[in-house]
Chains A and B, each alone.
Chain A
Amino acid sequence: INHIVHNGGLYKKPFNEAFEETPMLVAVLTYVGYGVLTLFGYLRDFMRQWKIEKCQNATEREEQKDFVPLYQDFENFYNRNLYMRIRDSWNRPICSVPGAKVDMMERVSHDYNWTFTYTGRVIKDIINMGSYNYLGFAQNTGACQEAASKVLSQYGAGVCSTRQEMGNLDKHEELEKLVARFLGVESAMAYGMGFATNSMNIPALVGKGCLILSDELNHASLVLGARLSGATIRIFKHNNMQSLEKLLKDAIVHGQPRTRRPWKKILILVEGIYSMEGSIVRLPEVIALKKKYKSYLYLDEAHSIGALGPSGRGVVDYFGLNPEDVDVMMGTFTKSFGAAGGYIGGKKELIDYLRTYSHSAAYATSMSPPVVEQIITSVKCIMGEDGTTIGEARVQQLAENTRYFRRRLKEMGFIIYGNEDSPVVPLMLYMPAKIGAFGREMLKRNIGVVVVGFPATPIIESRARFCLSAAHTKEMLDTALKEINEVGDLLQLKYSRRRLVPLLDRPFDETTYEETED
């Protein structure tokens, strides 16, 4: 039974999010598995040290052997012994458009994944369930590609200067106006890299004497930006509004830790869709809290822009809220728009301030013109301004694909995390051996999936993550589902006991916050 949250009318439609508990037996077996691997790891290290086994790592130069060692042996323990065994599930090289079907270069390893050789063959038409191609704009034909091609011949590929010096092209101004219109905010600014957008602008907005409240599962770029800013960071439990409210109350009432002076500002960092969990932020409640406690909200829509909402305008559109309530709307162009880069949207004062004081504007090269053109064309397509209904159709298709895929997987009996409407679908694997096995079995059946383990996820909760796309047709999804069903039976992955934990019962204890100060 799904637990549906309405919360006093803040939500206009049901918010179905579920995280089924790990079955006890599976947890125990997973720990046992890791224990065995660790033991073998120690054994192999011992054998390598005593030269019984050949050491295949790269080593330090002879002349520099008496320098302080660059890496500590223990740091690389996980890398050498666990990661190396299943290394072929990652960094798979492809040689075609990362669309719904992709061609992959075949590679084999003759020494248990220490080195790879390319056989020269290409595996064709693998169904791609790993690329972040939510609206299917990763195409090498069509309006976007033609426009980008024209701009490339006119402007060239690079820019060779920063925004504040001589790198501000008319294309950039056009893009920023368009993005502001798309989001429904006053003004916007675009940057060359999504990761850098976070890590270079959060330090410009907050500094010492400010407080940052960040979600437990925030992305590395948000964490890095928060650390570089020098503000105090406190973490609240994932998507847990009681935890957030408690932190806000305590912060305002008690002030800064030693001096008891009031905080200069409080910034809440959340993401639209969390890519490892597939959960959607509870935006109506966050905005209500933000208004009550007079703090500022920084929303990172890396995965949700274009992927959620009836018109594809992200999580704000999905909940039917006012974009002006979010103080800083940040997002990336890599996922739904098939390009590269990031943006920040908000009030005009905010963007003017960022134009002057953002690290990226002063020191980093501006965006490449053909990439800018791709974004412009795809945004126009989503908004319907290019005169077709392709954009609208794609947004609908993605929503349908999401619902269908999730429903079928749940019916089969897998444990799926996250919100029903999120196109990111994590399927729990738990055991370390199954991580490698799942990836390889699916590849044998011509389906490319992404598997993630420690350290991106907690140690026992490794998972396979499917990213749905508007470019996936129903036949492709059916093929994929059939194969997943087979592999699930083969590897015994159908853990679900169809008992879903109601959301409000998720444990929340008083010792929630950790304070980190640099």
Chain B
Amino acid sequence: QEKEELIEEWQPEPLVPPVPKDHPALNYNIVSGPPTHIITVNGKECINFASFNFLGLLNNEKVKSAAQASLKKYGVGTCGPRGFYGTFDVHLELEERLAKFMRTEEAIIYSYGFATIASAIPAYSKRGDIVFVDEAACFAIQKGLQASRSNIKLFKHNDMADLERLLKEQETEDQKNPRKARVTRRFIVVEGLYMNTGDICPLPELIKLKYKYKVRIFLEESLSFGVLGPHGRGITEHFGINIDDIDLISANMENSLASIGGFCCGRSFIIDHQRLSGQGYCFSASLPPLLAAAAIEALNIMEDNPDIFQTLRAKCERIHKALQGISGLKVVGESFSPALHLQLKESCGSRENDVKLLKRVVDYCMNSGIALTQARYLEKEEKCLPPPSIRVVITVEQTEQELDKAASLLKEAAQSVLN
């Protein structure tokens, strides 16, 4: 009888708390038409400085016609995971091409960019293993680490001394318990080009640390694939490092390759394991063939025109220089990074107010024909929340006049809003 009363009295919370109508993330920008170089946002035509279309392949006719051919042959969906009649010859071809391009033994494709690294990490690192990860790692890496249930040790962004300190601490721990140390796997997870800060990781030092302390390296190259290096092979080519030194390279195809999905590449010893234990690979439908065909064609274009990487780099340097010295905003990111952040030099106290101020800058620019966006984060879920910022993305399609126009417009906007 008491139980009946308890059941009657219990009141649960509402399933979701109400969201205020003016929450900045609630009102999406509506893009009518393709999100290419000239983009129509909320009815206004602007030059696109917000989509990660680095090599301008989103609107490329060859890519589209390869996708059309694939659509006519296979239809849209694959109707099954890779294990059950969902493996098409296009997938096998794309995996081979990616492995050859990156000069590794094997590659594996996922149908969703976020799921790539989030499924790869838990396939290798389990409860009891140790992962050293950079503070500025992106959200997908954080979710992969959470799913793996390993011990996470954060080191300060790009600070090799801090990482070495942690590794030394771990070494002293190991000496106390050598039996456990023999079965505890160790990994370092870093990004080639960090999405949250726009800088590059010091890979040569990391390789030295790898061999000194016997840790494996997982490299996430979503932004640096197709951007860094004379042929676009990413940060390993940029620094001239032997690719076999990196245990696993993971990247998504949604930035430079202008398709959907992601891939991991490395030695067969490592990649083959994911075919049975990568959750996003085994339990999910495979990539639609038209997107795989688009990616293959994009790879062809990348291989045939290696000078676009030089052009992109030159444009990045140009705008990086042009954006220096804006009153109130500072540029965060390397000079050759195509995805920069503009942060407030001084915060106005609360994050909410900062976000509102930056929104006014963005709106000013949008009204004058440059489409920008703020970098969006889930404030409560991030481990180390970056400060609010405006994201500026440089693509190969933007002309020099447009770059200059964008820089001067941002200067104007900053002047009028922040003063």
Contacts and interface: CB of A to CB of B under 8 A. Distances in A.
A192 interface: yes
Interface stretch (B288-296, B303-311, B344-352, B400-408): B288-296
B79 A98 contact: yes
A271 to B, nearest CB: 13
Interface stretch (A292-300, A317-325, A390-398, A503-511): A292-300
B88 A334 contact: no
Contacts of A224: 147, 279
Given A66-B214, A195-B283, A166 B6 contact: no
B211 to A, nearest CB: 8
Given A68-B182, A152-B64, A138 B75 contact: yes
B391 interface: yes
Contacts of B26: 352, 355-356
A145 B71 contact: yes
Interface residues of A, number: 121
B284 A194 contact: yes
Interface string B258-287: 111000000111101101100110111101
A68 B285 contact: no
B161 interface: no
Contact of A265 (B13, B23, B270): B13
A79 B12 contact: no
Chain B, interface size category, equals 35 or more
B327 interface: no
Interface string B58-76: 1100011001100111111
B254 interface: yes
A326 to B, nearest CB: 12
A374 B76 CA distance: 7
A82 interface: no
Interface string A59-97: 111011011111110000001000100000011111111
Nearest to B380: A357
B80 A160 contact: no
A153 B76 CA distance: 14
B155 interface: no
Contact of B13 (A93, A102, A264, A369): A264
Contacts of B78: 98, 131, 334, 340
A157 B64 contact: yes
Interface string A320-347: 0000000110001111011110000000
B369 to A, nearest CB: 15
A231 to B, nearest CB: 13
A282 interface: no
Given A131-B85, A145-B72, A192-B112, A295 B79 contact: no
A107 to B, nearest CB: 11
Contacts of A228: 143, 146-147
A365 interface: yes
Interface stretch (B197-205, B233-241, B370-378): B370-378
The 7 closest A-B pairs by CB, nearest first: A193-B112, A195-B284, A353-B16, A58-B269, A157-B294, A168-B28, A364-B114
28 contacts: A63-B211, A92-B87, A98-B77, A98-B79, A98-B86, A133-B79, A152-B64, A153-B68, A156-B64, A157-B259, A157-B290, A158-B258, A165-B373, A167-B31, A168-B29, A169-B30, A169-B35, A192-B260, A194-B285, A200-B114, A249-B3, A296-B15, A350-B16, A356-B19, A359-B381, A362-B139, A362-B378, A365-B113
